[in-house]
């Protein structure tokens, strides 16, 4: 009799787990993948329906929010630092401090993304998931964590490259401010060596600016 009861209990538990698995996979594929971690919540009713798998959903939501918060902080810090608006080339030499701050903020943001991604990967690795759940979870995780983190990093790096180049130009202009004259957006440098150095810096700065603007336009979807 005891063996029969144990068998019945085991069968019922297995069926319940299968139902929870099915409900969780469906939730991942029809709601989370469609709306994104920032646009979907798991109701108490759904949490009961998916059982312990609700904690797996929380891993994605928690670290997705942390990644989004990094982007929000970066936007806020950049806005604060660049509060006076764009800097014309003739004034770039006096803006070294602000440019250094922007490079530092972007460098920290890169490090923060790395740290959050590492925590998320560790939390994901600790989850015990059957194969079908793992497949669905991996797709959602890739979209909300891995791909988002990679896109953020790529955007930060291209911005940092631009501001690092702007910093080089700032140092150059400040160092040679007596020999570099601006008038009507035209630069005059009498020494050929300095003029060549300026032209190389200016070309590189323009190229990196174009790359940054393209990346910023493509990266608007990072806002959460």
**Ramachandran category for residue 85: left, alpha or beta (phi over 0 → left; psi -120 to 50 → alpha):** left
For residue 178, the 8-state DSSP code is T
d(CA 103, CA 81) in angstroms, rounded, equals 11
Apex 154 CA angle, 153 and 157, nearest 5: 85
Q: State residue 6's pLDDT score.
A: 47
Backbone angles phi, psi at 191, to 5 degrees: -80, 125
Looking from the CA of 73 toward its CB, the CA atoms found within 13 Å total 13
d(CA 64, CA 145) in angstroms, rounded, equals 6
Query: CA-based diameter of the chain, in Å?
Result: 102
How many CB atoms are located within 10 Å of the residue 178 CB? Answer: 6
What are the start-end ranges of the E strands in the chain?
A: 180-183, 186-189
Q: pTM value?
A: 0.83
Cβ(110)–Cβ(160) under 8 Å? yes
In tens digits, what is the pLDDT along the chain, a chain of 224 residues? 544 444 444 554 577 888 999 999 999 999 888 888 777 889 999 999 999 999 999 999 999 999 999 999 998 998 888 777 777 888 888 888 999 999 999 999 999 999 999 999 999 999 999 999 999 999 999 999 999 999 999 999 999 999 999 999 999 999 999 999 988 878 899 999 999 999 999 999 999 999 999 988 876 656 65
d(CA 27, CA 77) in angstroms, rounded, equals 36
Q: State residue 7's pLDDT score.
A: 43
Q: Does residue 144 sit in helix, strand or coil?
A: helix
Q: Does residue 180 sit in helix, strand or coil?
A: strand
d(CA 204, CA 201) in angstroms, rounded, equals 5
Provide the angle, in degrees to the nearest 10, between the axes of the packed helices 54-81 and 2-27.
30
């Amino acid at each position: 009799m005891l063996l029969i009861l144990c068998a019945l209990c085991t069968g019922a538990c297995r069926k319940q787990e299968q139902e929870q698995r099915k409900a969780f996979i469906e939730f991942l594929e029809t709601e989370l993948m469609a709306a994104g971690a920032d646009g979907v919540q798991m109701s108490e009713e759904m949490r009961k329906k998916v059982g312990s798998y609700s904690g797996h959903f929380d891993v994605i939501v928690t670290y997705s929010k942390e990644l989004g918060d990094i982007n929000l902080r970066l936007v806020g810090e950049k806005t604060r630092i660049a509060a006076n608006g764009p800097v014309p080339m003739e004034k770039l030499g006096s803006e070294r401090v602000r440019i250094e701050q922007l490079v530092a903020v972007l460098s920290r943001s890169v490090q923060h993304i790395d740290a959050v991604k590492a925590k998320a990967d560790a939390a994901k690795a600790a989850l015990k998931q059957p194969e079908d759940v793992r497949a669905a979870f991996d797709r959602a995780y890739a979209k909300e964590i891995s791909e988002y983190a990679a896109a953020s990093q790529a955007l930060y790096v291209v911005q940092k490259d631009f501001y690092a180049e702007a910093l080089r130009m700032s140092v150059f202009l400040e160092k040679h401010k007596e020999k570099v004259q601006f008038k009507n957006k035209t630069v005059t440098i009498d020494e050929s060596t300095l003029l060549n150095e300026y032209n190389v810096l200016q070309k590189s700065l323009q190229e990196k600016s174009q790359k940054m603007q393209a990346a910023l336009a493509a990266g608007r979807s990072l806002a959460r």
